[in-house]
Amino acid sequence: MSPSLHPSLDLHTDVLIVGGGMVGLTCAVAVASAGFSVIALDRAPIAVQLDAAFDGRVSAIAAGSRRALEGIGLWNHVLAQGNVAEPIRDIRVSDGESLAFVHYDSRALARDDSRARAETGQEPEPFGHIVENRTIRTALAARLLELPNLTVLAPAEVASVANEPSHAVATLADGRRVHAQLVVAAEGKESALRAARGIAVTRWSYPQTAIVCTIAHERPHGGVAHERFLPVGPFAILPMTDDADGRHRSSLVWTEKTALAAAYLSLNKADFDAEVARRVGDFLGTVTSIGPRWSYPLSLLHAERYTDDRLVLIGDAAHAIHPIAGQGLNLGLRDVAALAETLVDAKRLGLDIGFGEVLARYERWRRFDNVLLAGITDGLNRLFSNSFTPLVLGRRLGFRVVNRAGPLKAFFMRHAMGLVGDLPRLSRGEPL
């Protein structure tokens, strides 16, 4: 993709999106697909994100998020890249080395669901799909090119934003000015626009680092995602598609004490693989790491408000959570779906899309879901990274109860699929 560098000093657009990560660019695509003119900018060239060395993670794209990506013409660009999206058919959550576990089965959920029963002959909808982040970024880069009302400026940075009565004026570091009705901050955890408006955040660092790598294994994974709660933190084995040579693959998200992570990361391959095999166990047969090892320090962040004059926060700029449940990006994608719908509805009513009441609707809509997930993921991480005996016994009992309680289990499954609560139209599979 060749990002356009606009020659004129003054640019005019409906929406300016600052931050071209997965959430910012998805927002750009969603809002432009709905007919608004959009300028999206990032401080790094977009091509940098497509490099294999940029991001070694996969994302669990929940069913509701997949529907939204379909609705904005992005999912077909994911699938166009080949066999790249592995359906998650089962989720198995277990407590350390104990026999306590909860098994979530998407087929069982479909059997219980009367609508799914009516759709005879259809494959039950999986919980979601595991897709490499690089694949999502490549799909975004391809989709951007299809939207003539979307301009990407990268590399570019905002030096300051001033508000006029009818629009905001963002002055870029190179002197260009972008006149926009609405500015969207999507610059991730360290959002400069959020800081410039004095929006406070609640934040803390976990004493944990996520070690991420891909493994090849002898036996197929059968579409099962494993979340194992080990004493130092969660250990996830996420099913990926087989590679071009037919090797079975999974992605690991191994949460480790930060003080020990560097030592594990610097092990030679044989020793690293032995540590991996010890944690994975033998159900996948022989396991070997392939490709680079990655590490991500973990923290929680939540902004005290998501809006200011002609400004909204989305994605990690508004909230960042522990990856224990693979939901951070899904929350950001629900922000995008809710914001796009809010703007479309405002436009249909003839309202200014930067109007405070319009933005307040977006904030009211998204706050509960985001706070809830931040609380759940933080609570789970604390509960399970603990070897206090009464807690251990209590949570093992909890596993048995949940595993047998049909309705509770079904609720958790729908939640993991992103199909619970006041869903935006895109997440329900409806047009904007």
With CB under 6 A as the contact rule, the residue among 315, 354, 418, 424 that binds ligand FAD is 315
Q: Tell whether residue 44 is a contact of ligand FAD (CB under 6 A).
A: yes
Specify whether the CB–CB gap between 60 and 422 falls below 8 A.
Answer: no
Which span sits near ligand FAD by CB under 6 A: 185-193, 222-230, 265-273, 410-418? 185-193
Which span sits near ligand FAD by CB under 6 A: 139-147, 329-337, 348-356, 357-365? 329-337
Q: Tell whether residue 22 is a contact of ligand FAD (CB under 6 A).
A: yes
Q: Tell whether residue 187 is a contact of ligand FAD (CB under 6 A).
A: yes
State the nearest-atom distance from the C-beta of 58 to ligand FAD, in Å.
Answer: 6
Q: Tell whether residue 354 is a contact of ligand FAD (CB under 6 A).
A: no
State the nearest-atom distance from the C-beta of 432 to ligand FAD, in Å.
Answer: 20
Round to whole Å and give the CA distance between 177 and 163: 12
With CB under 6 A as the contact rule, the residue among 56, 326, 354, 418 that binds ligand FAD is 326
Q: Tell whether residue 42 is a contact of ligand FAD (CB under 6 A).
A: yes
Round to whole Å and give the CA distance between 147 and 198: 34
Q: Tell whether residue 328 is a contact of ligand FAD (CB under 6 A).
A: yes
Closer by beta carbon to ligand FAD, 381 or else 392: 381
Q: Tell whether residue 87 is a contact of ligand FAD (CB under 6 A).
A: no
Burial class of 153 by CB neighbour count within 10 A (0 to 12, 13 to 18, 19+): buried
Q: Tell whether residue 330 is a contact of ligand FAD (CB under 6 A).
A: yes
Which span sits near ligand FAD by CB under 6 A: 283-291, 319-327, 337-345, 411-419? 319-327
Round to whole Å and give the CA distance between 100 and 92: 10
Q: Tell whether residue 210 is a contact of ligand FAD (CB under 6 A).
A: yes
Q: Tell whether residue 18 is a contact of ligand FAD (CB under 6 A).
A: yes
Q: Tell whether residue 312 is a contact of ligand FAD (CB under 6 A).
A: no
Q: How far is CA 310 from the centre of its chain?
A: 25
Specify whether the CB–CB gap between 353 and 14 falls below 8 A.
Answer: yes
Residue nearest to ligand FAD (CB): 21
Closer by beta carbon to ligand FAD, 42 or else 308: 42
Specify whether the CB–CB gap between 100 and 400 falls below 8 A.
Answer: yes
Q: Tell whether residue 188 is a contact of ligand FAD (CB under 6 A).
A: yes
Round to whole Å and give the CA distance between 33 and 310: 21
Question: Which residues of the chain form contacts with ligand FAD (CB under 6 A)?
Answer: 18-24, 41-44, 57, 59-60, 157, 186-188, 192, 210, 212, 253, 296, 315-316, 323, 326-330, 332
